A and B are shown apart, each in its own frame.
Chain A
Amino acid sequence: MSLKLHLFAVAASLGFIAIIFELVRRKLLKESYSLIWFFVGGGFLFLSLFGDRIGGLAKFAGFQMASNAIIVYAIFLILILVLGLTVAITRLSKASREMAQEMGLLKNMLEEAKEKNKNGGGKR
């Protein structure tokens, strides 16, 4: 990697981490979800600093070129993240389902109670 590319990659990684930090600070990202993104940012930073030296690791795993290894690992990581997100969505949709049902039932109870009150003259 050229020095220019090195510097650019390091700056981009630090920028990424800063964005995550800012999102958590503004409460746009839940802390528990931010951990995984800090981890990803850390990975970026590691690669931009020591990207040259992972050639051996890639060779060890059977890759001809280090860049292939990085792409495969990155895609794998992204898929895991997406899977995690769909699990989170499932949980959310369950919560919203329960709330919608309870809301519907409560609204009905309220209406029927009001109706009863009106018909019964309000006093027992």
Chain B
Amino acid sequence: MDSSEIAILVPAYNEEKALPGTLDSLKSSYNPSQIVVINDGSEDATPLSAREAGVRVIDMPVNMGIGVTMQTGYRFALRNGFKYALQCDADGQHRPEEIPLLIREMESSGADMVIGSRFVDRKAAGFKSLFLRRQVIRFFSGWINMLTGFKVHDVTSGFRLVNRRIMELFAEEYTFDFPEPESIILTARRGHKVVEVPVTMRSRQGGVSSIGLFTGLYYMVKVTLGLVLTRLRKKD
């Protein structure tokens, strides 16, 4: 795989603190023309710092949420002829130097989607998220396994590489509230192959998490139900 064929999609909402650092480390390995910040209607200097970094910028006219934002990124990558798209969060949790791990895994396993996972290799160091959140992730992981037969450990990881087939799927159909777990089902039920590769993540490097207590409860209910509905939805 030629790494210049990858679009690095960086969804960002009010990430002025962490974004410059993330973009700097991305630029050390990738051409700015393949780095795409999708600014989800930020109220801070996010779009400004993205433009100063000289990368490509898509501004959502209003705040639409991560799902809509990522789908816009996939559409962009598809229309601009990229063969692969990699999602890398703006907050510095994902390490750009680990992107080659995902690339190698895709090449060797022939998977359509490779997810960078905190939990595959339990002995590995790095940030593993909070206890409660880990339990939620484990629950969804079991739920997805039951519904699809796929065993994915880190279902909420946004660090993922997809090929053009998945880009085409996501450009057409994506889930919009909390898309990471449901998009795995979307992918699996089309018969595409999903694999995980162990990565280490950092805690966020600035800004605040978009998920609080109430949102967390809503997340649980919405995703539990959403996973079933995604499984049942007609494939058109």
Q: Assuming A97-B176, A101-B75, is B68 touching A107 (CB within 8 A)?
A: no
Q: Which of B55-63, B146-154, B202-210 contacts A (4 or more CB under 8 A)?
A: B55-63
Q: Assuming A100-B68, A101-B72, is B58 touching A107 (CB within 8 A)?
A: yes
| A104 engages B60 (CB within 8 Å) | yes
| B38 engages A104 (CB within 8 Å) | yes
A80 contacts B by Cβ under 8 Å = no
B140 contacts A by Cβ under 8 Å = no
Across the interface, A108 reaches (CB within 8 A) one of B62, B68, B71, B76, namely B76
| A104 engages B56 (CB within 8 Å) | no
Across the interface, A104 reaches (CB within 8 A) one of B58, B79, B176, namely B58
A82 contacts B by Cβ under 8 Å = no
Q: Which of A97, A100, A104, A105 has the most CB of B within 10 A?
A: A104
Across the interface, A100 reaches (CB within 8 A) one of B56, B60, B76, namely B60
B217 contacts A by Cβ under 8 Å = no
Q: Please, how many angstroms separate the alpha-carbon atoms of A66 and B72 in the complex?
A: 55
Q: Assuming A97-B68, A97-B176, is B59 touching A107 (CB within 8 A)?
A: yes
B64 contacts A by Cβ under 8 Å = yes
A111 contacts B by Cβ under 8 Å = yes
Measuring CB to CB, which residues of chain A are less than 8 angstroms from any residue of chain B? 97, 100-101, 103-105, 107-108, 111-112
